[in-house]
Amino acid sequence: MVNYRRNKTGNPDDILFFTIVTMNRLPRFAEPEMRDLALTVLKRIKKRFGFKVKAWVILPDHLHLLISPQVSDYSKIIFSFKKGLSMEFKRLGRIERGEKMWQDRFWEETVKDDDHFERCVSYILHNPIKHGLVETPVDWKHSSIHEFIRKGDVARERGDGRDIIIPGAEYD
């Protein structure tokens, strides 16, 4: 058994980078409607727990979130998201009773400073390119890049993937 400890600093203002992966890397979110559903559940959980989403991307078999949980026990947020989305998939007949939708664990990392924050945001926004899904970040609909562009934090032409920097995004 792996001896794994969560990095719980007790500081609700921490910013955490999460990776959540589907069981056996099945492409549960291959269809845009399923990625929309994941975003809907994320918004519902956000409203319930009051955490702040800094950046996000939903890919066919995993997703990345950069959040400020506002609570020290952020595991409840991730558990509620995974459970809520699993229930929606069951309701739609996308998974069978007893079938696991997610890997048991999730991966998290505490953001250390502004430079680390910018690297995490860049990683999230460029992840669809890394996986060969699009040629530029702005081409992937299910990413926070569109929110950054709408807010004016990134010029639309910068959404081509060159040196995306989100000044001040950590303070929204």
Note the pLDDT tens digit of each residue in 55-67. 999 999 999 999 9
The total number of structural domains in the chain stands at 1
Over residues 54-112, the pLDDT tens digits come to 999 999 999 999 999 988 788 999 999 999 999 999 999 999 888 999 999 899 999 99
Residue 157 lies in a domain: yes
Residue 161, amino acid: G
Range with the poorest average pLDDT among 19-23, 111-115, 166-170: 166-170
Higher pLDDT, 165 or 80: 80
Classify residue 7: in a domain, yes or no.
no
Phi and psi (nearest 5°) for 57? -155, 140
Q: What is the separation, in whole angstroms, between the first and last Cα of the chain?
A: 40
CATH number at residue 47: 3.30.70.1290
Work out the number of other CB atoms within 10 angstroms of the CB of residue 113: 9
Average pLDDT over residues 1-11: 53
Q: Which alpha helices (DSSP H) does the chain contain, by range?
A: 32-49, 75-91, 114-130, 145-151
Q: State which residues form the domain around 164.
A: 16-171
Contacts of 65 (CB under 8 A, 6+ apart): 17, 18, 20, 42, 53, 55, 56
